[in-house]
Amino acid sequence: GESVGLHLPTLSVQEGDNSIINCAYSNSASDYFIWYKQESGKGPQFIIDIRSNMDKRQGQRVTVLLNKTVKHLSLQIAATQPGDSAVYFCAESWGNTPLVFGKGTRLSVIA
């Protein structure tokens, strides 16, 4: 029979606009959060991380926001470019446990 694939949420953004990708994490004890970018045929690549003692962290063109009250994480990409098109994953960790990944969001940049 036909298998049902994982339906990834998709965000379509016009080139040059800002993108916001959201993630709800599961464990209130998580103290480390990370965003990865995965392009087709490649492994996940680190974008930015944040620890639970912070609520915001900025990188080059990217900002991660953490709201521990509602267990929500977001990734903001400024001036989105075609090269930003990929699947984005959030991941969480607590103590020394390995990263647990969310299901991912596909970002599609319209040129």
Partner 1 sequence: DAGVIQSPRHEVTEMGQEVTLRCKPISGHNSLFWYRQTMMRGLELLIYFNNNVPIDDSGMPEDRFSAKMPNASFSTLKIQPSEPRDSAVYFCASSTGGSTEAFFGQGTRLTVV
Q: How many residues bind partner 1 (CB under 8 A)?
A: 29
For partner 1, the closer of residues 84 and 92 by Cβ is 92
**Region 69-108 residues binding partner 1, contact defined as CB under 8 A:** 89, 93-104
Which own/partner contact pairs does 103-107 have at CB distance under 8 Å and 24+ positions apart? 103/6, 103/8, 104/8, 104/38, 105/8, 105/9, 105/10, 105/11, 105/21, 105/22, 105/23, 106/8, 106/9, 106/10, 106/11, 107/10, 107/11, 107/13, 107/19, 107/21, 107/77, 107/80
**Per-residue binding letters, 47-66, with partner 1 (x by CB under 8 A):** --x-x---------------
Stretch that binds partner 1, among 10-18, 32-40, 60-68, 74-82 (CB under 8 A): 32-40
To partner 1, the closest distance from the beta carbon of 3 in angstroms equals 7
